[in-house]
Amino acid sequence: MSKGAARKGILVIISAASGAGKSTIIKRVMADDPNCVFAVSHTTRPPRPNEVDGKDYYFINDQDFDDMVKADAFAEWAVVHGNRYGTSFAEIERITAQENDVIFEIDFQGGRALMRRFPEAATIFLLPPSLAEVKQRLIDRGTDTDEVIARRMEQARIEIATAGEYRYLVFNDDLDEAVAEVQAILRAERLRSIRFPDKIRELVAEP
Ligand code: ADP
Ligand code: 5GP
């Protein structure tokens, strides 16, 4: 991209059934691209052993979540697998103020809400090779009980049924390929004409 073509940061909404590989793919994409910043959600879910408060999520209790809902602090929030998750306006502003691209890793309810609010967002749904593979990956990940895995599998079918609402589908069979595809989508999305309103006006107005 030429230096003269300053662009606004883009909003990237990534959804998938639990266990489809969202976190893994997003971490890889962000490690290669300092312009991509992860929108840290608030959740009432307890942290998993490897998770860091303020990095993976802002872990808060029910009372604090209630207070944020009442204060209209969320651009969207939803109940997922029995816990509440939400994207705060403050988090979106924190990232867009730095002119970075924002990655939202959210469920389909949040995806729908943010698509309505930000129709110019890039939207990606990650699909697993099969539901059987999702179950195996969740078992291998070793972070959820059998009961939680069963609940997540029930939900997976509902989530996958909404994939057609997203602009892009990425099939996470081979991890390297899926990462490369997300990177290719981001490259193309950054070049959409709507990202450069000023540049077009400037060129047209040039004497
Ligand atoms: P999500 O964030 O969608 O719940 P994760 O990124 O935690 O899913 O992935 C679930 C598990 O599947 C992890 O243990 C991860 O290492 C593994 N995984 C992700 N993508 C692949 C892939 N393409 N092939 C095999 N295992 C994968
Ligand atoms: P996990 O508990 O595995 O981290 O996430 C469970 C689900 O909640 C995933 O589908 C994840 O994308 C979704 N999620 C995480 N943050 C948010 C959020 O801020 N809003 C919504 N609607 N869903 C979220």
Q: Which domain holds residue 181?
A: 11-39+100-204
Pocket test for ligand 2, best of 12, 27, 40, 41 (most atoms within 8 A of CB): 41
Shortest-distance ligand to the CA of residue 176: 1
Q: What is the pTM of this model?
A: 0.90
Å from CA of 207 to ligand 2 middle: 50
Give the pair of three-digit tokens for residue 173: 């069979």
Do 83 and 121 form a contact (C-beta atoms < 8 A)?
Answer: no
Structural domains in the chain (count): 1
Atom of ligand 1 at shortest range from CA of 26: 6
Q: Is residue 168 assigned to a domain?
A: yes
Q: Is residue 69 assigned to a domain?
A: no
Q: Is residue 198 assigned to a domain?
A: yes
Using alpha carbons only, give the angle 114, 117, 118 rounded to the nearest 5 degrees.
Answer: 80
Q: Is residue 17 assigned to a domain?
A: yes
Strand runs (DSSP E) across 41-186, as ranges?
Answer: 41-43, 57-59, 74-80, 83-88, 101-105, 122-127, 168-171
Per-residue pLDDT of the chain (207 residues; tens, 9 = 90+): 554 556 678 999 999 987 788 999 999 999 999 889 999 999 999 999 999 999 999 999 999 999 999 999 999 999 988 899 999 999 999 888 887 899 999 999 999 999 999 999 999 999 998 999 889 988 998 888 999 899 888 888 999 999 999 999 999 999 999 999 999 999 999 999 988 888 888 999 999
CATH code for the domain of 105: 3.40.50.300
